[in-house]
Amino acid sequence: PIGYSQARIRPWTCLAAMATLNSTGIAPSRVRVSRDGARIPTRVQSASAGRKRVVAVRASGSDKPKEVTLLDYGVGNVRSVRNAIKYLGYTVREVEKPSDIASADRLVFPGVGSFGAAMDILKAKGFADPLKDYLQEGKPFLGVCLGMQLLFEGSEESEGVEGLGVVPGVVGGFDTTLGLPVPHMGWSGVSQKQPSAFMQHVQNGQRVYFVHSYRVEETEANKDWTLSTTNYGGEFISAIQKGDVMATQFHPEKSGTVGLQLFKSFLDGEKLESDSGLKDGLGFPLNSNGAVELSKRVIACLDVRANDNGDLVVTKGDQYDVREKEGENDVRNLGKPVELCSR
């Protein structure tokens, strides 16, 4: 339910996934089947940690219909988000007109694409003002990736384009002089800065999945919004929250069991447990800055194909369409396979 086809899973893909998760110190996810045939993912902490802890994520038993509104403005594939929501027992109500935003009880906004293009589409469809009103009213909201960045005042990615301006600050690019690959792609740890019902089941240092080229730095003006930070060539904001408005730079829908738990906490409207403070780390290795390092990962597969010049390139498709939407309509080129693997 979190982004992978159930039709066919190759053994080497599973082994690669286990190697990736094992590098974090957490055993790979397992699945148990309940009496009613439902598949329930669990995660077992490694024996080296001194004890076993099983986390099961499942929708609560209730006959009351549960619905969440999804703002998909038509750019990119948000199927993984839909699958995660449905897996947790909720039905998805799509935003089709501006009034659907105002009437939403809970709104999920998985942003995809560039900052400027996203704002243009939101304005063209009449979604921008109702969304800003919804946020300013403090109604339950969860933004993901670009869905977090658009809450800020603007972005260096699209200079001159105003964001929703709910959160102070401007989205900036990573410092490429440090030699780190951009986009930041992989499993990095989060450091929680304030107690939160949304993240009360997440331990400091827990790794979640990122893929982004721009980030927001914490300032005095947005410090009260900062829920967690992550280090990648410097500290940046990886999650924000104020009241019932929250958003993540990482992708919960691609972060395994911990991501499903985050969705569940938001969808169920969990309250902060009285004894829930900031959780201790899980013994993840720290770098010289005291931050959890980017996980060493096994690349399970690369989508490699020839471009129009006959060169083999790593590409990424949108519904199997691997060509750029603008310019010369070239095959999308993310780099050379051997160079990417050597990272």
Residue 148 tokens read as: 């977090």
Q: Is the peptide bond prior to 183 cis by the omega test (within 30 degrees of 0)?
A: yes
Distance set, CA 170 to CA 53, 151, 219, 221 (Å): 40, 10, 10, 11
- Please give the angle made by the CA atoms of 285, 302 and 4, to the nearest 5 degrees: 80
d(CA 271, CA 90): 19
Of 184, 201, 212, 251, which one is the catalytic site residue?
251
Of 184, 253, 301, 326, which one is the catalytic site residue?
253
CA atoms within 13 A on the CB side of 95: 27
Q: How many residues does the chain have?
A: 343
- In Å, how far from its chain's centre is CA 122? 20
Say whether 253 is catalytic.
Answer: yes
Residue 222 tokens read as: 């947005």
Confirm if 28 and 16 have CB atoms less than 8 A apart: no
Of 145, 184, 201, 212, which one is the catalytic site residue?
145
Question: Which residues are marked as active site?
Answer: 145, 251, 253
